[in-house]
Amino acid sequence: KNEVEQSPQNLTAQEGEFITINCSYSVGISALHWLQQHPGGGIVSLFMLSSGKKKHGRLIATINIQEKHSSLHITASHPRDSAVYICAVRSYDGGSQGNLIFGKGTKLSVKP
């Protein structure tokens, strides 16, 4: 079983729709990252969370530490949001604090 699971794997939406991408993890973590990988391959860091909720523009990320679950929401989606969204967790076992474990990504396509 993967330590970080994302759902759905693929998502197609119409412009303007509200989008939710989910990330569940099975390890103890100190933080969770959301990344965006553009069609050209470049990767951008969107959020890092250790609790609660963060908002940046049309993007909202939430995390529930007790349930080991995080969601990334996109409001009023736009074709330029089309990308692969990747969840990564910073596992904390005391000995490898720099280690990041990644989900396999959610490919989002927003149609005009």
Partner 1 sequence: EAQVTQNPRYLITVTGKKLTVTCSQNMNHEYMSWYRQDPGLGLRQIYYSMNVEVTDKGDVPEGYKVSRKEKRNFPLILESPSPNQTSLYFCASSLRFRLLQYNEQFFGPGTRLTVL
Question: Shortest Cβ distance from residue 48 to partner 1 (Å)?
Answer: 5
Query: Per CB under 8 A, which of residues 2..31 are in contact with partner 1?
Result: 30-31
The reply to whether omega before 8 is within 30° of 0 (cis) is yes
Residue 101 CA to residue 91 CA, distance in Å, equals 7
Could you give the CA distance from residue 28 to residue 10 in angstroms, rounded to a whole number? 27
Closest to 84 measured CA to CA, from 17, 8, 4, 3: 8
Binding residues among 42-71 for partner 1 as defined by CB under 8 A: 42-45, 48, 50
Q: Which stretch binds partner 1 (CB under 8 A): 15-23, 56-64, 65-73, 94-102?
A: 94-102
**Span near partner 1 by CB under 8 A; candidates 19-27, 56-64, 70-78, 85-93:** 85-93
Phi-psi region of 5 (alpha: psi -120 to 50; beta: other; left: phi over 0): beta
Give the residues lining the site for partner 1 (CB under 8 A): 30-31, 33, 35, 41-45, 48, 50, 86, 88, 92, 96-105
